[in-house]
């Protein structure tokens, strides 16, 4: 069932090309998510451009900004699904998952975030982090709906 929530997987940096294998796989997972929520990818040249865009997203509820950050909270797939389901159930309209600049997020961006999320202690290439995040969003929806994609081990 399609919720009224909009999800954006954003990153700071150049738009990826159509020949980028990670980008193509990320698009596959975002397309799979489209049965549950409206999902899209966005690229921003600078952190400031992303923060300005977040301000313009204001609707009935403020956009929830989730910044991927190595110092952030680590979650299991089940805990992430529960977090996402809670946002959906409380009527959140917009969630933006964002991969930041190579130098990391500024203090201003970190303060703006509702959640700082870490994919783990290892450093990942930004394109790989986008793919992992897209897959985890899809997995979260699979968990929430009882879809057999997630087997839990």
Residue 150 inside a domain? The answer is: no
Number of domains in the chain: 1
CATH number for the domain that contains residue 119: 3.40.1280.10
Q: Phi and psi of 112, rounded to 5°? A: -70, -25
pLDDT at 2: 62
Tell me: the pLDDT tens digits for 92-140?
999 999 999 989 999 999 999 999 999 999 989 999 999 999 999 999 9
Q: How far is CA 44 from the centre of its chain?
A: 14
Q: Give rounded-to-5 percent helix, strand, coil for the chain.
A: 40, 20, 40
Q: Which domain covers residue 140, as residue numbers?
A: 6-145
């Amino acid at each position: 069932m399609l919720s009224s929530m909009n999800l954006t997987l954003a990153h700071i940096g150049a738009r990826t090309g159509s020949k980028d294998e990670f980008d193509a796989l990320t698009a596959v997972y975002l397309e799979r998510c489209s049965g549950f929520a409206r999902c899209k990818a966005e690229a921003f040249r600078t952190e400031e451009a992303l923060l300005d865009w977040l301000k313009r997203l204001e609707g009935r509820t403020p956009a929830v900004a989730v910044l991927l950050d190595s110092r952030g909270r680590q979650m299991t797939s089940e805990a992430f699904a529960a977090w996402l389901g809670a946002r959906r159930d409380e009527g959140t309209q917009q969630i933006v998952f964002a991969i930041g600049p190579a130098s990391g997020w500024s203090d201003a961006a970190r303060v703006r975030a509702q959640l700082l999320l870490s994919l783990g202690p290892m450093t990942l290439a930004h394109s790989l982090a986008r793919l992992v995040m897209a897959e985890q969003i899809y997995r979260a929806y699979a968990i929430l709906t009882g879809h057999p994609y997630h087997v839990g081990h």
